[in-house]
Amino acid sequence: MVGQAKRKKISHRLMLETEERCIYCAAPPDTIEHMPPLVLFLKRQRPKGLEFAACKECNNGTKGADAVAALFSRVSHADRDPYWENGDGVTLRHTVDRDAPGVRDEVFDEGKAATRWMKGDAGVLVPKTVVHADGPLVKAYLDVFSAKLGMALYREHVGKPLALEGGVQTIWYMNSGLSEKIALAHLSILPIDGSLKQGSFTARDQFAYRYNCDEKSIFAALVGLNSNFHIFLIASSTPEKFMLPLSMPEIATTTNFLRPSQLVEHLASKAAAVGRLR
């Protein structure tokens, strides 16, 4: 009988042998990339699935983006939440400091983090730290994470990596910044439900999405990560045909457009610009 671990090893080896290239660039793949990454799940308990072939450079070079996305997906709980005081939360903070140096300084900068009294779970007012995700480093990491997710889900639903001349347009929302009106506008074009499921083990409260796809050149989704982070994305192998990137004047947030092969370099150039060479 072949054990589960061994079966996984075989299927990963097969994936690396059969995938023509990294899902993020033109290089041949030599690692397995989980998207969304394990770091985003509580105690790294992640249902299997959504595993992809990636090259080592993209996989390692964008780890900081995974860590920052995991941090921000939970940041609304930052106060008086035991999550941040033990095991998982402490590990995540260390991971962010290691893989995305400078991010916590940028976000929790004394002058930027403000305390505001808000209604807590029990209906009483509790002090919450309002963090700002508008610094250049955080934006670069979350833009790259969103593009990664778009390229991974495109591979999953279209059946091949996003073309090198293709691209992903993303908009992300933090701190419940996704209004009901915008959510409904997005969801009206996204009829299909997606998540991760392994037998009866699901993690819908940590990762779920609604999507639409023509199964050949375009994929769109609204993705929810934990309670605090939503991403709207459109990935296409022929972006000019769909007039991407779209201008969205009704949406008061910046949008981002990245192509395959640009992810690692995008992070490096933004980090260099703020003096955080890695």
Residues contacting residue 131 through CB under 8 Å, at least 6 positions apart:
75, 78, 107, 108, 112, 113, 175
Is residue 40 a contact point for Zn ion (CB under 5 A)? no
Shortest Å, Cβ 166 to Zn ion = 15
Is residue 163 a contact point for Zn ion (CB under 5 A)? no
Exposed / middle / buried, residue 84 (Cβ in 10 Å: 0-12, 13-18, 19+):
middle
Positions 55 through 74 that interact with Zn ion (CB under 5 A)? 55, 58
Measured from the CB atom, is 60 or 91 closer to Zn ion? 60
Measured from the CB atom, is 62 or 170 closer to Zn ion? 62
Contact with Zn ion (CB under 5 A) among 24, 41, 52, 229: 24
Is residue 27 a contact point for Zn ion (CB under 5 A)? yes
Exposed / middle / buried, residue 36 (Cβ in 10 Å: 0-12, 13-18, 19+):
buried
Shortest Å, Cβ 116 to Zn ion = 41
Shortest Å, Cβ 185 to Zn ion = 33
The answer to whether 255 and 169 are in contact (CB under 8 A) is yes
Residue with tokens 């995938």: 19
Measured from the CB atom, is 55 or 168 closer to Zn ion? 55
Shortest Å, Cβ 161 to Zn ion = 10
SS3 201: strand
Q: Between the CA of residue 29 and those of 14, 64, 148, 271, what are the distances in Å?
A: 12, 20, 15, 26
Is residue 152 a contact point for Zn ion (CB under 5 A)? no
Shortest Å, Cβ 113 to Zn ion = 35
Is residue 25 a contact point for Zn ion (CB under 5 A)? yes
Q: Which residues of the chain form contacts with Zn ion (CB under 5 A)?
A: 22, 24-25, 27, 55, 58
